[in-house]
Amino acid sequence: MSAALPNGGNVFANGIRQHYLHYRSTGSAFAVILIPGITSPAITWGFVAERLAERHDVYVLDVRGRGLSSTGPDLDYGLDAMAADVVGFADALGLSAPSLLGHSMGARIAMRAAVSGKNGFSRLALIDPPVSGPGRRPYPSKLPWYVDSIRLAMKGIDAEGMRAFCPTWSEDQLRLRAEWLHTCYEPAIVTAFEDFHSDDIFPDFKALKQPAMLMIAGRGGVIAPEDEAEIRALNPAIEMTHVANAGHMIPWDDFDGFFNALGDFLAR
């Protein structure tokens, strides 16, 4: 991982404090808002944001209930609230037609924000979003995997202890997760996981008007061929790409494969 440090900041938007990391562009002024997944504080995506910043101005969000953004029992942790956060964040920073890159839960948030029609988001890179929902097969990961690791992190856990949950990750990745996982508020994680099964995002695929890419992990088990076919039928304009040798955490498993699959999509 690079030693380069981003600029951190906080903004009050959609009624909460939203913390973000800003990786300033070294080559372009095009803004990209990166929305991480269910238990990924912004800092854990730094190694991806650094690479993206070679071509884009990158803002990585701490989604509510994670990292340094607002948290606690009084907040709504549903998909619509998180999507409204992204709209409010873009408006508060005066970002003009930013692109959205969301991973897993973050991709669901990106879609819901885009179809709300409340901000002119220009492009969407949707990285392996959960497509479980009412009447569909369940999300392949199980809730105890998240809850158990968070509870251990609350007491204090090191990289070696985290290895039992993420056995393929590098030492640097494990250390970062061990350091930051305790900031993931358990009720927020439980709500998001339950929403994977109760909030159907297939209508969002159909409603998307912006250019969109769907990146599918070859070993993730999240998006099956039948899901891909259904999405393609709902919205043939969505560009689909695959990273054959990666699990759900695509850039962790195949960093170069992730960027090869992303290509120049965000810069077009």
Give me the CATH number covering residue 78: 3.40.50.1820
Q: Is residue 173 part of a domain?
A: no
Q: Is residue 163 part of a domain?
A: no
Token digits of residue 61: 């969000």
How far is the C-alpha of 268 from the C-alpha of 262, rounded, in Å?
11
Q: Is residue 49 part of a domain?
A: yes
Pairing of strands 57-61, 31-35: parallel
Q: What is the pLDDT of residue 91?
A: 95
- The per-residue pLDDT string of the chain (268 residues; one tens digit each, 9 = 90 and over) reads 443 568 999 999 999 999 999 998 866 678 999 999 999 999 999 999 999 999 999 999 999 999 999 999 999 999 999 999 999 999 999 998 999 999 999 999 999 999 997 768 999 999 999 999 999 999 999 999 999 999 999 999 999 999 999 999 999 999 999 999 999 999 999 999 999 999 999 999 999 999 999 999 999 899 999 999 999 999 999 999 999 999 999 999 999 999 999 999 999 8
Burial tier of 100 (Cβ tally within 10 Å: 0-12, 13-18, 19+) = buried
Q: Is residue 61 part of a domain?
A: yes
- Find where tokens 């040798």 sit: 245
Closest to 210 (Cα-Cα) out of 258, 268, 132, 257: 268
Whether the CA torsion 177, 255, 230, 125 is positive or negative: it is: positive
Q: Is residue 151 part of a domain?
A: no
Q: Is residue 144 part of a domain?
A: no
Q: What is the pLDDT of residue 1?
A: 40
The answer to whether the predicted template modeling score (pTM) of the entire model surpasses 0.85 is yes
Q: Is residue 193 part of a domain?
A: no
Residue 174, CA atoms < 13 Å, CB-side half-sphere: 15
Q: Is residue 150 part of a domain?
A: no
How far is the C-alpha of 176 from the C-alpha of 33, rounded, in Å?
21
Kindly report the CA angle at 247 between 243 and 249, in degrees rounded to 5? Answer: 95
Which H or E run contains 92?
helix 79-92
The number of domains in the chain is 1
Q: What is the pLDDT of residue 27?
A: 65
Q: Are 213 and 239 in contact (CB under 8 A)?
A: yes
The parent domain of residue 241 ranges over: 7-137+199-267
